[in-house]
Structure 1
Amino acid sequence: MKNRILLICVFVSGFAALQAQQLPQYSQYLINDYVLNPAIGGSHDYFEAKSNNRFQWTGITDAPRTFILSMHGPLKYENMGIGGYIFTDVTGPTSRFGVYMSYAYHIKLTEKMKLSLGLFGGMLQYNVDGSKISMVDKGDPLSNQGVQSVYLPDAGFGLYWYTDKFYVGASVPQLLQNKLKLSDTTDILGTLKSHFYVTAGYKFQAGDKFQIEPSVLMKYVDPTPVQFDISARVIYDKMIWLGVSYRTMDAISFLLGYSYKELLMFGYSYDYTTTELQNYSSGTHEIMIGFRFISKKKEDKPVSDAMY
């Protein structure tokens, strides 16, 4: 009975999200920040590919599951970057699939400082499986209709001011604010509202081997309150990192990661839910795997601190 009630809550919250926070959460935004801001594309002198798998609220039936695969890097002319990503996000009878491409232009302000402007565009598919929904009103168009889908264009932009040691970024996905309507017989379910992200972080050198990186991510979508991810991690020898993050009104996250020869990366995070869902869920798990395509000419050069 508890799981049935929780399933209803998860489904209802999915539709409520159409008027609130709609995009997936990522605890490892520190490591895969490109998915939040297209201006980051090409900010390193190599291409990199990363995947994130997020299993939210384990223990609750049909809780959100998110997968994302991204890749970005510089063009031949180092002041431009390109990239792209795909993602799937499934919650109960609802699911989303998106494909995006991005372009960024990097302006050199000083010898070590740059400002980047980025754009992304793509297509979003939103699905509702009516066969998994039991409606009180059997005449509701969503009831027993199988999978209904709608395809919508999407776009966003971002700014990124950075050096090897610090960064400040801002981005706005879902700029077009499309109305979500599955068919001519259904009402408008909601609006894909613009989200506003602001990020900032700084790396402090602590001796020869250690670095400390505090950071913050601010998220806002009308009409919900502003949400913050306040994080800090310790990096040892550009190889191992441990961190902790507090997401207001949601969770505390514990992070760890490993970099093999500055080419292959692995990251894991565990979110301990601070809301009432902690009574039913054993937490959220997120796994990240990444690879950097560094040419032989660059292997002898020290890799930028910004990549960790």
Structure 2
Amino acid sequence: MKKTETGLPAGEGHQEHKRMKKILIISAMLLLGKSGYSQLNPMGSMYYQNQYLANPAMAGINSGWELSAGYKAQWTAIEYAPAMEAVTAEHGSDNGKVGLGLNLFNDRAGVVQRTSAKASYAYHLPLNGGKSYLDFGLSAGIMDEWVDFNRVRGDLTDPGLYNFNQRGIYFDGDFGLAYRNGGLTVQGALPNLKRFLDRDIRRSVADRSLYMASAGYRFAGGEGSALSAIEPKAVYRGVENYRDIFDA
């Protein structure tokens, strides 16, 4: 009976190869799923402490400089679990009309890593004598996505891994709008415009948000209250190849 290099009969060796291939495919799907999950569960600070993370229109809404940093890790007991880091810098003009920002973001999940660097410009149009504002924001920069071969547990010769990495760095951007009136803030944003406009780089797995819309109202805390303010907020996100998400 003819045997393969593994010592198994030829027929069994072929079946074993097919089983291993299925395992590799399933493993890759799970790892990419983790990557998508991290995008579907972003930093909570983007909704309150640092809204510029989700919407470039919110850059520089306060005069002067603001520096922020955030870190989020999930499933820390699991090897190569999702983790995200973000660093932002914003500057609002003295007249409150112009905002500038810089957003550095890194996302690791499974074998996939994403790093982006974007600069933002926002214009805050005063309405009703400065009692309300209509905000416009645009970010532009670079995005790099790659598979870390040091984390791969499988066939390193898989052409799919190399094809993913060969895409290289590409230009990306975000667009956002907002309306502010007293404690009321209504927002809308289109993150990752490259994915939104170019179907060639979309993948068939659950991935990052296609758009975001939110509405919230900030109530100032009363005199002597332990809370300076409270802000209920509702957020709706459309996600590619996944059901839409409602956060509140």
Match of 1:141 among 154, 159, 167: 159
Contact 2:147 2:161 in 1 (8 A): no
1:151 match = 169
Structure 1 position 61 matched with structure 2 position 76? no
Q: Distance in 2 between matches of 1:93 and 1:134?
A: 9
Contact 1:133 1:144 in 2 (8 A): no
| 1:26, distance to aligned residue in structure 2 (A) | 1.2
Q: Which whole-Å deviations, capped at 9, do the CAs of 1:39-87 have from their partners, x for residues lacking one?
A: 0012112221100010112212111111000011223553111101101
Match of 1:104 among 117, 122, 144: 122
Q: Distance in 1 between matches of 2:104 and 2:180?
A: 26
Q: Report the identity percentage.
A: 27
| 1:166, distance to aligned residue in structure 2 (A) | 1.8
Which one has a larger percent strand, Structure 1 or Structure 2? 1
- Structure 2 gap ranges (5+): 1-24
Match of 2:145 among 116, 119, 126: 126
- Structure 1 gap ranges (5+): 1-7, 181-187, 231-308
Structure 1 position 168 matched with structure 2 position 183? no
Q: Distance in 1 between matches of 2:118 and 2:203?
A: 23
Q: Distance in 2 between matches of 1:22 and 1:65?
A: 10
Q: Which whole-Å deviations, capped at 9, do the CAs of 1:4-58 have from their partners, x for residues lacking one?
A: xxxx988534424788884661122211110100000121122211000101122
Contact 1:121 1:156 in 2 (8 A): yes
Q: Distance in 1 between matches of 2:162 and 2:151?
A: 8
Match of 2:110 among 70, 74, 92: 92
Return the index of the structure with the highest Cα Rg: 2
Which one has a larger percent helix, Structure 1 or Structure 2? 2
1:239 match = none
Alignment: residue pair count: 214
Matched to 2:210, the amino acid is H
1:117 match = 136
Q: Distance in 2 between matches of 1:190 and 1:153?
A: 21
Q: Distance in 2 between matches of 1:219 and 1:10?
A: 28
Match of 2:219 among 190, 204, 207: 204
2:10 match = none
Q: Secondary structure at the match of 2:52?
A: helix
Q: Distance in 2 between matches of 1:134 and 1:70?
A: 34
Q: Which whole-Å deviations, capped at 9, do the CAs of 1:71-106 have from their partners, x for residues lacking one?
A: 112235531111011011111221111100000111
| 1:130, distance to aligned residue in structure 2 (A) | 2.9
Q: Secondary structure at the match of 1:34?
A: helix
Q: Cα–Cα, structure 1 residues 14 and 168, in superposed 2: closer, same or farther, change >3 Å?
A: farther
Give the number of the structure with larger relative contact order, counting CA–CA contacts within 8 Å between residues 6 or more apart: 1
Aligned-residue Cα RMSD (Å) equals 3.1
Once the two structures are superposed, the pairs formed by residues 180-259 of structure 1 within 5 Å of their partners are 180=201, 195-208=210-223, 209=225, 210=227, 211-230=229-248
| 1:212, distance to aligned residue in structure 2 (A) | 2.6
Given the two structures, how large is their TM-score scaled by the length of structure 1?
0.61
1:302 match = none
